[in-house]
Every structure is written in structure tokens, then in C-alpha cells.
Amino acid sequence: MKLPGSVRLLFASVVLPLVAVPPSFAWGREGHMMVNRLAAQSLPADLPAFMRTRQAIAEIEYLGPEPDRWRSRAEPELNAEQAPDHYIDLELADLIGPLPRRRYDYIAALYAYAASHPTMAADLRPEHVGFQPYITEEVWQRLKSAMRDYREAMAQGGNKNPDIQPIEAKILFYAGWLGHYVGDGSQPLHVTVNYNGWAAKDNPDGYTTAHDIHWKFEGVYVAANIKAPDVQPLLAPPHPIDDEWTDYLAYLRHTATLTERVYQLDKQHGFDGAGTPEAKQFTEERLAAGASMLRDMIVAAWVQSADPVPQSHTD
């Protein structure tokens, strides 16, 4: 759930104040599990065999909604700390220029920009703008590190190495955890200030300003209408990832180009009840995009886990 606050863009338009809204969980339980399962089922044969077993696929699937299980009022500090990991308002984040790769550099840049634009200070608090690509990169690097441990353990005893099973367990956890954020990144309302009702003063076509579109689209509609067998054929062919940060940002920016399409479909009642064929196709394509990207990022972690660790240099 995003924290309440006004949002004002420096350029293009003035943005209306935002109000507190119910929690927003991208894709809901069903969608997140679907993204993770389809990605796990499509992993290539050159990844470790344990990742492609029925049990492993079921575990990765179950872990798809895991970060949303941490968003309970029973753990308020945990909820407050990790809720901004699920989104990024790119219109605001882009005010600082190219996004730095490291979380704390990004935080510092937001505060520096806010200091020189004091009327925007509240809007540019990092927890308002969001950390979506940063948590994704950090979990991806955890996965790559675990896969490097797996390679080393296999080289030192193979399946008889007592460390193998614990390493396999953490690889599956990180892969499932990663899937949540990659899935979030395929949902257009997780990369915009217009995340739950059109917030900009410039409302291009009278789009809804009610604070119910987010969950209606990603939760209620998906659970009632979208099935994995319809999404699976839409997965993209495997695509090698060279630089995960650059490729993931490109993925988020493509998702952002589809924000207005969500509002157009909503205006056509595409997400009401059984919805429309156009809304169903669009939603299936977005879920397939998440599963495809997750598969490719897991493969990239495995490939890059074979790279030598850079040596540290001391004076």
C-alpha cells in the first residue's frame, strides 16, 4: 500500500493530491503464482536438474506471493519497510536523471533533488517514489551468489557434499522471491503515479479517478478470468540477458507505456465481471511478459554465476 501524499510533477502537468487507498498487491495470489509457475516450467535443460523437478516448480510457484505475506498489520515495521519495494513511480524517479544502480545512491539523489525543489520534498521521499528495480536487482544478485555456491559445492563432492541440499533450498527461495518483483514489474499500475485512479490533472480521456481500479484489475479480474494454460502460449522465446540492470529497466519502461491502456480498458468495462476479450488478451500478455522475464533472469543468474569473482584491490 502506498503512503498517502500529494504528487506534483515538475514537468508536463500538475498532479492531483493522492489519498490513502486499500493495499495493492500486484496480480494477487493467483497471478503471482501463475507467473512463477510458468517461468519455472519453462527453464531450459542446461540449468541444474533439481530446479526443474515437480517439487521445485511447486515451491517456486508457492513463493510467488511471499512478499505480500509480509504486508500484514501484525508486523507493521516489516510492512512499512518493504511495501515500497513493490513499485516505482517512474515519472518522479526520472526527475533525478538516469537511475543509479545502487539503492543508497538513488536515495541520496532523490533527497538532493528535493533539497533544490523544496515544494516537492514530501513527494520525493524515497518511500513514496518506490524501490522496485532496486529490490529486484538485490534479490537477483542473491540468487546469482547462491548459484555460485552451488557450482563450488558440486565441484567439491557433488551431490555427496553435505552443503548441496541447503544451497538448493536457498536457490529455490531466491528464485521464488525474485519472481514476485519481476511479476510486479509487468503490471503497469506499479510503475506510475497513476497507480490507483488517474492522478494527473491532465486526464486524457476522462479516466477513472476512483481508488479501486488497481485491485479490480490485478486481483479480482485475474482470479476470476485468467488461467495458466491461456497464458503459457504467450511466453516470449528465451532472450539472453547481458546486463540485468539495463534489461530490467527497459522491461519496466515498456510496462509503463501500457499504463494508459489499462485505463482505456477499464473505461470500456474490460475488467468488470467476465470483462471483454481485449482485456483478457491484454492481461494474459502482461502475465506472460512477467513469466518470460523471470525465466530469462533466472537463466542469466545461472550463466553469470560461472564468472570469476573480481579480485579486491588494496593499496
As for how many domains the chain has, the answer is: 1
Question: Could you give the CA distance from residue 5 to residue 150 in angstroms, rounded to a whole number?
Answer: 45
User: Looking at the predicted structure, is the pLDDT value of residue 21 above 60?
Assistant: no
Task: Kindly report the pTM of this predicted structure.
Answer: 0.90
Which of 98 and 8 is assigned the larger pLDDT? Answer: 98
Q: 74-85 burial string, b = 16+ CB within 10 Å, else e?
A: eeeeeeeebbbb
Structural domain includes residue 105: no
pLDDT at 158: 86
What is the average per-residue pLDDT within 101-113?
98
What is the average per-residue pLDDT within 166-182?
98
Per-residue pLDDT band at 25 (split at 50, 70, 90) = low
Which of 160 and 59 is assigned the larger pLDDT? Answer: 59
Helix orientation angle between 259-267 and 277-304, rounded to the nearest 10 degrees:
160
Structural domain includes residue 147: yes
pLDDT at 6: 38
Question: Could you give the CA distance from residue 128 to residue 113 in angstroms, rounded to a whole number?
Answer: 14
Write down the mean pLDDT value for the chain. Answer: 92
Of 20-29, 163-172, 295-304, minimum mean pLDDT range: 20-29
| Percentage with pLDDT > 70 across the chain | 91
Structural domain includes residue 72: yes
Length of the chain: 315
Structural domain includes residue 17: yes
Q: How far is CA 265 from CA 112, 189, 207, 282, in A?
A: 38, 13, 10, 9
Per-residue pLDDT band at 200 (split at 50, 70, 90) = confident
Question: Could you give the CA distance from residue 139 to residue 297 in angstroms, rounded to a whole number?
Answer: 11
pLDDT at 20: 34
Q: Which residues are registered as beta bridge partners of 224?
A: none
pLDDT at 107: 98
Q: What letter represents residue 28's amino acid?
A: G
CA 234 to chain centre: 19
Structural domain includes residue 260: yes
Per-residue pLDDT band at 9 (split at 50, 70, 90) = very low
CA 121, 208, 183, 113: dihedral to nearest 10 degrees? -10
Per-residue pLDDT band at 159 (split at 50, 70, 90) = confident
User: Looking at the predicted structure, is the pLDDT value of residue 10 above 50?
Assistant: no
Quote the domain boundaries for residue 34.
Answer: 9-93+132-303
User: Looking at the predicted structure, is the pLDDT value of residue 213 above 90?
Assistant: yes
User: Looking at the predicted structure, is the pLDDT value of residue 15 above 90?
Assistant: no
pLDDT at 311: 86
Structural domain includes residue 107: no
Identify the CATH number of the domain in which residue 214 sits: 1.10.575
Instruction: Name 179's Cβ contacts closer than 8 Å, sequence gap at least 6.
Output: 32, 35, 36, 39, 60, 63, 64, 294
Helix orientation angle between 132-155 and 277-304, rounded to the nearest 10 degrees:
40
What is the average per-residue pLDDT within 1-24?
37
pLDDT at 14: 32
Structural domain includes residue 101: no
Rg (CA), the chain: 20
Structural domain includes residue 160: yes
**Measured between alpha carbons, how far apart are the two ends of the chain, in Å?**
47
Q: Which residues are registered as beta bridge partners of 181?
A: none
Per-residue pLDDT band at 1 (split at 50, 70, 90) = very low
User: 185 and 293 in contact (C-beta within 8 Å)?
Assistant: yes
Q: What is the pLDDT of residues 29-86, one digit of tens each?
A: 999 999 999 999 999 999 999 999 999 999 999 999 999 999 999 999 999 999 999 9
